[in-house]
C-alpha cells in the first residue's frame, strides 16, 4: 500500500497494490500494521455501504459529538470525494481536499474526525463503502451546504446540473452558521 498525503494534514489517500491477471484481481484494502505505521487509527466499529445514481451528492456530513473518522472507497462506479477541515483552531479551517475514488483506481481516502465529508456521483451508479471509528449517532449529525460560498468547492457537476440532494442535505447550513469543532485535536 502507498499512503499519499494531501494538502490537509491527516487526510490520506491510500493506493493499494493490486495483483491481477485474466481471472481478476486481489488487493488488501485494510491492514492494521500498515495503517498504524501511516498514523491512521485502526479500530473501526462500523461498516457502511451506499448506492447512488449519477448526480447524487451526499454531504457534507459530520457528527459534532462522537466524531467519526471514515475510510471511504468506491467499489462500483466513480465518485468525487471531499473532506473539509472544520476544526476552528486548525490553520486549515475551512480548507478542503478532493480525490476521485473509483472501482477502477481502487483508491481509498481516510477522512479523520474533525472533518466534514461528502461525495458526488460521476458514473451512472456508484456504490460506496466506508469504515468508521465511532458509531453513527443521528442526534449529533450535522450538514454543511455543499455549495457554501465560503468553501467554494469546485464540484464537477454532470452537464452543469444541480445535484440531487436528500431533504436533510437540502436544509444544510453554511460553514459560518455550522457547529464546528472548537478543539483542533478532536478526541
Please give the Cα distance from 9 to 40 (Å, whole number). 12
The DSSP bridge partners found for residue 181 are: 87
Give exposure, 39-48, as e/b (b: 16+ Cβ within 10 Å): ebeeebeeee
Note whether 105 and 63 are within 8 A (CB).
no
In 3D space, the residue among 168, 169, 181, 182 whose CA is nearest the CA of residue 69 turns out to be 181
Please give the Cα distance from 46 to 12 (Å, whole number). 20
Please give the Cα distance from 156 to 158 (Å, whole number). 6
Residues with a catalytic annotation lie at 61, 130
List Cα–Cα distances, 16 to 31, 76, 78, 100, 158, in angstroms.
10, 16, 17, 15, 28
Amino acid at each position: 500500500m502507498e499512503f499519499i498525503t494531501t494538502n490537509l494534514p491527516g487526510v490520506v489517500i491510500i493506493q493499494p497494490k493490486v495483483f491481477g491477471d485474466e481471472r481478476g484481481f486481489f488487493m488488501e484494502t485494510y491492514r492494521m500494521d500498515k495503517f498504524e505505521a501511516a498514523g491512521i487509527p485502526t479500530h473501526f466499529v462500523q461498516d457502511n455501504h451506499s448506492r447512488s445514481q449519477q448526480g447524487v451528492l451526499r454531504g457534507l456530513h459530520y457528527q459534532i459529538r462522537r466524531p467519526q473518522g471514515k475510510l471511504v472507497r468506491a467499489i462500483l462506479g466513480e465518485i468525487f470525494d471531499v473532506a473539509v477541515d472544520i476544526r476552528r483552531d486548525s490553520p486549515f479551517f475551512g480548507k478542503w481536499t478532493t480525490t476521485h475514488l473509483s472501482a477502477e483506481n481502487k483508491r481509498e481516502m481516510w477522512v479523520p474526525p474533525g472533518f466534514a465529508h461528502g461525495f458526488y456521483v460521476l458514473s451512472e451508479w456508484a456504490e460506496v463503502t466506508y469504515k468508521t471509528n465511532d458509531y453513527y449517532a443521528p442526534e449529533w449529525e450535522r450538514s454543511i451546504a455543499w455549495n457554501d460560498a465560503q468553501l467554494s468547492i469546485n464540484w464537477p457537476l454532470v452537464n452543469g446540473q444541480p445535484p440531487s440532494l436528500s431533504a436533510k442535505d437540502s436544509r444544510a447550513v453554511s460553514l459560518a452558521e455550522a457547529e464546528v469543532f472548537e478543539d483542533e485535536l478532536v478526541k
